[in-house]
Structure 1
Amino acid sequence: MRKGERGTTVVYADRFTPEDERRRARETGEEAQAIPFLKRFTVFNAAQCENLPEEIAAAAPPPDSGLIEPRVEALIAATGIDFRIGGNRAFYVPAHDYVMVPPPQAFFEPINWHRTALHECSHASGAPRRLNRDLSGSFGSKKYAFEELVAEISAAFCCAALGIVPTVRHADYIGSWLEVMREDNRAVVRAASQASKAADWLLAHLPDDDAASGDAAIANDGRVAA
């Protein structure tokens, strides 16, 4: 198991007949009574593990040709972020500084892969050796909500600059986290400021020609995509 991974709890249900009950049933001629039981396990996807034997190691299928925009692929590679494609959920692990995103074909509409990938890379931009944001918030906390705002607004800026038009609305996701921070009426302004820095950091890794067109797109449309 790779350090930093979190398992999923599963429950196994069955019945068993104790030996004493079997003996009682034999002696009385009655039917033995089985006892129901539940057993809990924590399991991990093979994609979350390292150094598995070849016969059980899971290799993520390569992305179908043409599903990833070349500029987005080049940008991610140029950032130097440890970006992994596989598994069934997208996340960034601050403790080990890597991003995991399922392959594009796992998305109902593959165009949305780019939004998710840029969202997770925006989280990674906050690592101490990059923009050094506070990534210590636990799920549901205000710190966590604020970082989600930063990452999603940054992804919206990047998508606009790169001409990516996801079918999932950035504004809906942003609004869901604003609900967590509803008493802070300046949360979106503060998050947008940090998101602008995150998007600038990511887009700075575009090849020169693409970077120039990206700057123009942000200048012409600096709004959060809806």
Structure 2
Amino acid sequence: MKDHRQSLYAEVTQRIIAELEAGRLPWVQPWDASQCACTMPSNAMSGRSYSGINVLILWGAGVEQGFTSQRWLTYRQAEQAGGHVRRGEKGTVICYADRFTLRDGADKAQSEDREARTVAFLNRFTVFNVDQCEGLPEALKSLQVSADPIVAVEAVDAIIRASGADVRIGGGEAYYSPVQDYVAVPPQAAFHEPINWYRTALHELGHWTGHTSRLGRDQSGKFGSAAYAREELVAEMASAFACASLGIVPTVRHADYVGAWLPVLRADEKAIFRAASAASKAADFLLSCGEAQA
């Protein structure tokens, strides 16, 4: 199991590194190269959105194969829906992380009145895009429609209001201050495209979610350090995931950080998995603020 797990970590990490070295960001590229609507990938049967590293894997597969949808399902789900995967189609491998408790360890922990130690495991399974299937109900095959940009912008405003974040508009820099717990964003007039104000605000709010009173990420890293690069990676993807969920096309905000991210990913094959997981949690935190106000 160990070799299997490590090979999956290495395989995905090398793929992400290759994209970054080529100047492509896996959380931005889909909206430049694919005909697919701007959205998060989801399971066609349950409607549940995929999260973490699987978002990057499925976005990448959608771009590479030119799929028109970000709806996915397993071979068995396609049959349960009344259709089937076309002969010769190759699925996309995604992963599922969880933890289990060894039976001997659980018995010993119980006798010693303590929590049992759990062991992490990573399983891979295969999904297919609805474009790779035949005979599916029209409801599963229908094209996804992007959200109205105006509505999407209103949704970000709602998130900012409901979050209770101290957002200070003004000045010439966008940043988050962990010590004073506030977000600073230049006025919208300072941006060449007004929509970029919202993308930037979501990036800084991504940092804001990491405060010790919220999701509690390590934000102690100084500029240029590995810890700083890891937090920037989380905020970048958190903004992209939130944007895609709201129908706003993600774009690169800090392209100059790519050089700092690469050493982090090369040094730790699990780093992109951790960052993507943290980004999903951050995006979900922000989106739940907007849902609470709705």
Is residue 205 of structure 1 aligned with residue 286 of structure 2? no
Helix, strand or coil for the counterpart of 1:204? helix
1:123 is aligned with what amino acid? H
Residues 152 and 174 in structure 1, CA contact (< 8 A), matched pair in contact too: no
| Distance change in 2, residues 1:144/1:72 (3 Å) | same
Match of 1:102 in 2: 186
The answer on whether the counterparts of 2:229 and 2:257 sit within 8 Å (CA) in structure 1 is no
Q: Separation in 2 of the partners of 1:208 and 1:134?
A: 27
Deviation at 1:196, TM superposition (A): 0.8
Letter in 1 for 2:191: F
SS at match of 1:121: helix
Mapped to 1, the partners of 2:175 and 2:256 lie a distance apart of: 15
Please identify runs of 4+ aligned residues in structure 1 that moved more than 2 A. 168-177, 182-186, 207-210
Question: Which one has a bigger Cα radius of gyration?
Answer: 1
The within-5 A match list for 1:206-225 is 206-207=290-291
Match of 1:179 in 2: 262
Which residue is equivalent to 2:171? 87
Which of these residues, 198, 211, 216, is aligned with residue 132 of structure 1? 216
Q: CA–CA distance in 1 between the matches of 2:237 and 2:271? A: 12
User: What is the letter of the counterpart of residue 175 of structure 1?
Assistant: V
Matched residue type, 2:258: G
3-state SS in 1 of match to 2:289: coil
2:239 aligned with 1:155, yes or no?
A: yes
For 1:109 and 1:93, locate their aligned partners in 2 and report how far apart those are by CA, in whole Å.
25
Q: How far apart are 1:142 and its partner, in Å?
A: 0.4
Give the whole-Å Cα distance in 2 for the aligned partners of 1:175 and 1:197: 22
Report the Cα offset of residue 170 of structure 1. Answer: 6.3
Rounded to whole Å, the distance in 2 between the matches of 1:174 and 1:153 is 13
Q: Where does structure 1 lack aligned partners over 5 or more consecutive residues?
A: 1-65, 211-226
RCO comparison, higher one (Cα < 8 Å, 6+):
2
Q: CA deviation at 1:131?
A: 0.7
The whole-number CA distance in structure 1 between the counterparts of 2:169 and 2:276 is 28
- SS in structure 1 opposite 2:267? coil
Distance 1:73 1:173, change over 3 A: farther
Percent identical:
52
CA–CA separation in structure 2 for the residues paired with 1:131 and 1:189: 17
Q: Determine if contact 2:176/2:208 at 8 Å carries over to the other structure.
A: yes
Distance of 1:202 and 1:176 partners within structure 2: 28
Name the counterpart of 2:207: 123
Cα offset for 1:180? 4.0
The change in CA–CA distance for 1:114 and 1:180 in structure 2 (over 3 A counts) is farther
Aligned residue pair count = 143
After TM superposition, the score normalised by the length of structure 1 is 0.58
Aligned 8 A contact 2:175 2:204 in 1: yes
Q: Give secondary structure in 2 for the equivalent of 1:133.
A: coil
SS of the aligned residue for 1:150 comes to: helix
- In the TM superposition, what is the alpha-carbon distance from 1:174 to its structure 2 partner? 6.5
CA distance in structure 2 between the aligned counterparts of 1:77 and 1:100, rounded to whole angstroms = 15
Contact 1:122–1:151 under 8 Å retained in 2: yes
Instruction: Provide Cα deviations, 1:8-28, integer angstroms capped at 9, x if missing partner.
Output: xxxxxxxxxxxxxxxxxxxxx
Change (3 A) 1:209 1:98: closer
Instruction: Provide the rounded CA distance (Å) in 2 between the counterparts of 1:195 and 1:74.
Output: 20
For structure 2, the residue ranges without an aligned partner over 5 or more in a row are 1-149
Q: Which amino acid aligns with 2:226?
A: K
How far apart, in 2, do the equivalents of 1:151 and 1:92 lie? 11
Distance 1:112-1:176 versus aligned 2 partners, 3 A rule = farther
> Which residue pairs with 1:72 in the alignment?
156
